Amino acid sequence: MFIFPLIFLSSFIIAIREIIKGNRQDFMLFLIFGMSIYTTAMSVSFLYGLKDILHVFQFFKEVLVLTLLAINIYTLKARPKFFLIDYLIFGYLAYTTLFALLPIGEQSLFERLLSLKSMSFYIVVYFTGRLLDIRKVYVSKYFNYIALLTIAAGAVTFFEVLFNTNLQSVSGYSDYIYYFFNFEPNGSFGLTSTFESEGGYKRFGSFFDNPLEHAAATLLALSVLIALYTSDNNKFKPNTIGLLALGASLLSITFAFSRAPLISYFFIIYIYALITKKTYITKTIHYGILAGACYIIYIISSWGNKVDGIMEVIINTIDFSNPSSVGHLMAWVEGVTSIIQHPFGIGLGTSGRVGGSLGETVGGENQFLIIGVQVGLIGLVLYLAIYITFIKQGLKWFNILKGKERKICLAVLLIKVGFLIPMFTSEVESSSYISYMNWFLSGLFIATIMQHQSKPVSTLTLAHDH
């Protein structure tokens, strides 16, 4: 078990060393290998009695981000040209910071700052990627590292399923979460309720924070794998590692047993097939949806409520009769009501993960409503504008860019599209690994297109991967 803190610490030290040597792109080493196992590394360290120094470990990620950002700014040779997304992000960051500094809401200044870090620090991560020189980033290398990470996550999941035991049951997870975040193990397996589903099924989180982060990480991995093995002529050619990673991703998304990410897994494939004009995939998905719908209609009409197992979970999800779906609906109604009554927000720390740890949360279980409840419609509109603009730019530049730049574009586009559905049922940005990786790659994407923004599309000379 001590391998997890060792990997976390080693990836941090190596990343710091490489950044000092000038290899700033190796920040991704810590993102991939350190951030993915962050909670497991912390909980194992807590298990070994290192709780007094965990506060230092917990700030490694912020220290590394701020260090890299400071170096990027210091080494700028010219004032960077800003893009529409940059201004939107500046506006969002400034607006949410205002909510933290002003006495808005009932939370203390410390609690508001804590909520600000949870809700907006990933925006800072965006600028670490935005100010990097994309020409020095060996994209395929880091995407291959994500492939290896996906295989490792699938292997851990396999053994979890084989022994019917969550890794978190033996890693000290529950004690760590209760000690630092005030979340009690309220589930049936000695863990939080996110580790179980209706019908008594266990949900497995591999070495991630929980099954929800595991599922979201799988969506990110699928997007990266598709981008890595798609050539400039839209041929998908995975090697042996790629096939193993794809198989591991399917295993992970299945046993994470989270409905919204499972739908998004196939939605990513569908969107990829649409933009690359792979009609055989789109037709297969259409026929699959039709066959599934017919089968569900047959089950409902023939058996009514006399179903069990996986079909019970599916039908109860469709008719919103299971406790999880009802909980989502109630949280959504509460969040929408709060936004209607308080269109300028009720303050940071009143919704989402931080609000839950403080025991006072309004709404929740929806990334968009969590933002709207805390900072109102202005903050929500800014966030939506950022997100929608990324998707529009991804679609625009996908058929223009080549080589590694195209891989970044496709990965970011599929990540943004893939996270849309889970964002309606969870606070996706609360996961450090997911949000940091997502926004760092987003920064690299904008850095890429800004190199060519002032040139006519027909005369672009684009860099290819190594």
Q: How confident is the model at residue 464 (pLDDT cuts 50, 70, 90)?
A: very low
In degrees and rounded to multiples of 5, residue 202 shows phi and psi of -80, 145
d(CA 223, CA 214): 14
Q: How confident is the model at residue 466 (pLDDT cuts 50, 70, 90)?
A: very low
Summarised one tens digit per residue, pLDDT across range 16-35 is 999 989 899 999 999 999 99
Here the tokens at position 60 are 């490694």
Report if residue 222 sits inside a domain.
Answer: yes
Q: Give whole-number Cα distances, 224 to 36, 319, 406, 416, 437, in Å.
A: 15, 34, 12, 12, 11
Apex CA 96: angle with CA 92 and CA 98, to 5°? 120
Residue 227 predicted with pLDDT over 70 = yes
Summarised one tens digit per residue, pLDDT across range 384-424 is 999 999 999 999 999 999 999 999 999 999 999 999 999 98
Give the structural domain span for 171.
3-277+320-459
Residue 85 predicted with pLDDT over 80 = yes
Residue 349 predicted with pLDDT over 80 = yes
Report if residue 285 sits inside a domain.
Answer: no
Q: Give whole-number Cα distances, 235 to 90, 241, 262, 278, 326, in Å.
A: 38, 17, 25, 10, 43
Q: Give whole-number Cα distances, 147 to 238, 245, 306, in Å.
A: 11, 5, 42
How many structural domains comprise the chain?
1
Report if residue 71 sits inside a domain.
Answer: yes
Instruction: Identify the pLDDT of residue 95.
Output: 95
d(CA 400, CA 388): 19
Higher per-residue confidence, 185 vs 70:
70
Instruction: Identify the pLDDT of residue 177.
Output: 87
d(CA 140, CA 465): 7
User: Dihedral of CA 406/407/410/415: which sign?
Assistant: negative
Summarised one tens digit per residue, pLDDT across range 284-330 is 999 988 987 887 777 767 655 555 555 555 655 555 556 566 666 78
Summarised one tens digit per residue, pLDDT across range 365-395 is 789 999 999 999 999 999 999 999 999 999 9
Residues in contact with 271: Cβ distance below 8 Å, sequence separation at least 6, in sequence order: 414, 417
Of the candidates 140, 272, 177, 180, the one whose C-alpha atom is nearest the C-alpha of residue 219 is 272
**Per-residue b/e over 418-457, b at no fewer than 16 CB within 10 Å?**
bbebbbebbbbbbbbbbbbbbbbbbbbbbbbbbbbeeeee
Residues in contact with 435: Cβ distance below 8 Å, sequence separation at least 6, in sequence order: 122, 125, 428, 429
d(CA 86, CA 384): 14
d(CA 314, CA 252): 19
Higher per-residue confidence, 158 vs 115:
158
Q: What is the mean pLDDT of residues 321-343?
A: 79
Report if residue 164 sits inside a domain.
Answer: yes
Higher per-residue confidence, 128 vs 321:
128
Instruction: Identify the pLDDT of residue 199.
Output: 64
Report if residue 72 sits inside a domain.
Answer: yes
Of the candidates 271, 228, 272, the one whose C-alpha atom is nearest the C-alpha of residue 246 is 228
CB 215 within 8 A of CB 253: yes
Report if residue 64 sits inside a domain.
Answer: yes
Instruction: Identify the pLDDT of residue 276.
Output: 94
Q: Report the DSSP beta bridge partners of residue 236.
A: 230
Average pLDDT of every residue of the chain: 87
pTM above 0.85, yes or no: yes
Q: Report the DSSP beta bridge partners of residue 230.
A: 236
Apex CA 440: angle with CA 390 and CA 277, to 5°? 45
Report if residue 309 sits inside a domain.
Answer: no
Report if residue 296 sits inside a domain.
Answer: no
Q: Report the DSSP beta bridge partners of residue 196.
A: 202
d(CA 130, CA 138): 15
